């Protein structure tokens, strides 16, 4: 039968119910006593007891005087035995002719075990709670078209059990992070998403207009500058988990809106942030996976071992064969870049080119957890200088599986130095760099009030979820990823 005819049959069945005064959509509640897995886990106690479950019918086998179906709820599936003598002739006839796969039903009956040993419910009352009016994908092949899966995540969750498990695990990951940080004395806060100056990262912001004040605003690209204001205010340990927005491209590791966590701790430095990060990642893996060793694709990752630490200069020396300690100035850096076929822009300085070398030659080798330390000052406008190495700052990035997982600093708290670095960023913006920061006068005022020595860090939560759920793309761990509109 053509799909359009099948859809009309569904609407005709609904009309039959409505005409008989049985419109399922007027029902406002259903009292559920148990979920499917709870019945299975506690069967010895519930055997023969009346239970009430509700969920979506995912299978139906019609026979003569008795039929079977199963119901899927948030915990899984459970078989329902439907006998005419138990629910009555008219309800049984309705079950066979009107109810179908995709409908949401409530079932009241006694828990029992079938002759084949399957824990089931012997139905006494079946209540239709919502009539399905669209065809679900064929059950044996599920929903496989990735574009449709992302656009219709609600169907994806119904048809693909592993997808539901991914998002349950994502929730557990975020919960485990909160548990760890709360146990370390951190306070969770919320800061503005709409800002006049989108700073704290090198990224292009989305822009909008606020009619009430007739002002142009931006969506935040980072959480940093507001959280540091709270450190100035004396909160000492703060974190935020929230969406940020960057007007950039789409690929397997990037989505224009994504979940970022940033935390700031007074009276520590980037070494303190390394220790916290290593301990937190280990805690999350143990809580969510039950182990610190796990596979991402064919690679076994080990969060149980001490994370490696290497400077950016040493990494480039190791994997590119170039020692930037021996490169005197910007011109020499550009010369070696030309020799190694590393592309750069005219305004790039020695530190920028060092970073380009790292991206080109080193990132792919950072498979096991590795802290890459001591970045050039040119790419770190909010970071404290290293006192023993001119031109470099106390910063690290954690790499796992070749991905940047987080970015941390010993935070710059010198207002005069910070103003000069903002000026340099303003100059880059004036030269056409759309990702440059701009001077934030209120933030500078906060620094002049006084910020203690502080360690800070930002984590890409979605990438961590990809690792711990063995997901190949960021869209697989975002319930509703950004997609091009369908006309």
Quickly count: other Cβ atoms within 10 Å of residue 139's Cβ: 10
pLDDT band at 88; cut points 50, 70, 90 = very high
Q: Is the pLDDT of residue 356 over 70?
A: yes
Quickly count: other Cβ atoms within 10 Å of residue 310's Cβ: 19
Q: What is the pLDDT of residue 365?
A: 97
Find the range with the poorest average confidence among 140-144, 194-198, 260-264, 295-299.
Answer: 140-144
pLDDT band at 428; cut points 50, 70, 90 = confident
Q: Average pLDDT in the 270-295 region?
A: 98
Mean per-residue pLDDT over the chain, rounded: 95
Asked if 301 and 467 touch (Cβ cutoff 8 Å), the reply is: yes
Closest CA to 320 of 364, 374, 368, 380: 364
Q: Is the pLDDT of residue 139 over 70?
A: no
Closest CA to 287 of 154, 418, 183, 357: 183
pLDDT, tens digit, for every residue of 35-46? 999 999 999 999
Closest CA to 134 of 316, 277, 276, 3: 3
Q: Average pLDDT in the 355-380 region?
A: 96
Q: How far apart are the first and last CA of the chain?
A: 28
Mode of pairing for the β-strands spanning 237-245 and 215-219: unpaired
Q: Average pLDDT in the 225-233 region?
A: 97
Asked if 340 and 277 touch (Cβ cutoff 8 Å), the reply is: no
Q: What is the pLDDT of residue 429?
A: 83
Model confidence, pTM:
0.92
Q: Is the pLDDT of residue 109 over 70?
A: yes
Burial of 184 (0-12, 13-18, 19+ CB in 10 A): middle
User: Which two three-digit tokens encode residue 391?
Assistant: 């031109």
Q: Is the pLDDT of residue 142 over 70?
A: no
Give the H or E element holding residue 446: helix 441-449
pLDDT band at 2; cut points 50, 70, 90 = confident
Q: What is the pLDDT of residue 381?
A: 79
Q: What is the pLDDT of residue 29?
A: 96
Quickly count: other Cβ atoms within 10 Å of residue 202's Cβ: 18
Return the SS3 of 241.
Answer: strand
Q: Average pLDDT in the 155-166 region?
A: 94
The order of strands in the sheet holding 215-219 is: 194-195, 215-219, 207-210
Q: Average pLDDT in the 270-289 region?
A: 98
pLDDT band at 374; cut points 50, 70, 90 = very high
Find the range with the poorest average confidence among 89-98, 343-352, 436-445.
Answer: 436-445
Q: Average pLDDT in the 384-405 region?
A: 96
Q: Is the pLDDT of residue 141 over 60?
A: no
Task: Give residue for tokens 């029902």.
Answer: 27
């Amino acid at each position: 039968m053509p799909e359009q005819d099948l859809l009309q049959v569904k609407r005709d069945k609904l009309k039959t119910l409505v005409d008989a005064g049985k419109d399922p959509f007027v029902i406002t509640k259903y009292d559920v006593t148990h979920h499917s897995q709870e019945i299975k886990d506690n069967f010895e106690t519930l055997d023969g007891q009346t239970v009430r479950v509700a969920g979506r019918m995912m299978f139906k086998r019609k026979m003569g005087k008795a039929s079977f179906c199963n119901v899927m709820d948030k915990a899984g599936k459970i078989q329902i035995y439907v006998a005419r003598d138990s629910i009555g002739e008219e309800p049984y006839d309705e079950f066979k002719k009107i109810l179908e796969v995709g409908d949401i039903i409530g079932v009241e009956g006694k828990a029992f075990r079938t002759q084949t040993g399957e824990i089931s419910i012997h139905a006494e009352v079946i209540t239709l709670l919502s009539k399905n009016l669209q065809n679900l994908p064929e059950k044996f092949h599920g929903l496989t078209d990735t574009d449709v899966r992302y656009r219709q995540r609600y169907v994806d969750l119904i048809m693909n059990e592993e997808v539901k498990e991914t998002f349950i695990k994502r929730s557990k990951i975020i919960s485990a992070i909160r548990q760890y940080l709360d146990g370390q004395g951190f306070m969770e806060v919320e800061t503005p998403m709409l800002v006049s100056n989108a700073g704290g990262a090198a990224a292009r912001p989305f822009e909008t207009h606020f009619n009430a004040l007739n002002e142009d605003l931006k969506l935040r690209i980072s959480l940093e500058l507001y959280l540091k204001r709270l450190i100035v205010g004396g909160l000492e340990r703060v974190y935020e988990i929230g969406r940020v927005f960057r007007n950039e491209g789409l690929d397997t590791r990037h989505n224009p809106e994504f979940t970022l966590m940033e935390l700031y701790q007074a009276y520590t430095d980037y070494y303190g942030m390394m220790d916290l990060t290593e301990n937190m990642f280990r805690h999350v893996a143990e809580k969510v996976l039950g182990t610190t060793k796990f596979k991402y694709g064919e690679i076994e990752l080990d969060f149980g071992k001490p994370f490696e630490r290497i400077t950016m200069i040493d990494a480039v020396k190791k994997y590119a064969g170039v020692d930037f300690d021996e490169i005197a100035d910007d011109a020499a850096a550009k010369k070696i870049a030309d020799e190694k076929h590393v592309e750069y822009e005219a305004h790039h300085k020695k530190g920028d080119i060092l970073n380009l070398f790292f991206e080109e030659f080193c990132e792919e080798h950072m498979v096991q957890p590795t802290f890459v330390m001591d970045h050039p000052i040119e790419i770190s406008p909010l970071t404290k200088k290293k006192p023993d190495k001119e031109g470099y700052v106390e910063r690290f990035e954690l790499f796992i599986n070749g991905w940047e997982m987080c970015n941390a600093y010993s935070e710059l708290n010198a207002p005069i130095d910070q103003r000069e670095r903002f000026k340099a960023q303003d100059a880059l913006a004036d030269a056409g760099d759309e990702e440059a920061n701009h001077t934030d006068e209120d933030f500078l005022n906060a620094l002049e009030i006084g910020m203690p020595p502080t360690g800070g860090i930002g984590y890409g939560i979605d990438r961590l979820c990809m690792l711990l759920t063995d997901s190949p793309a960021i869209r697989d761990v975002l319930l509703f990823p950004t997609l091009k509109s369908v006309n």
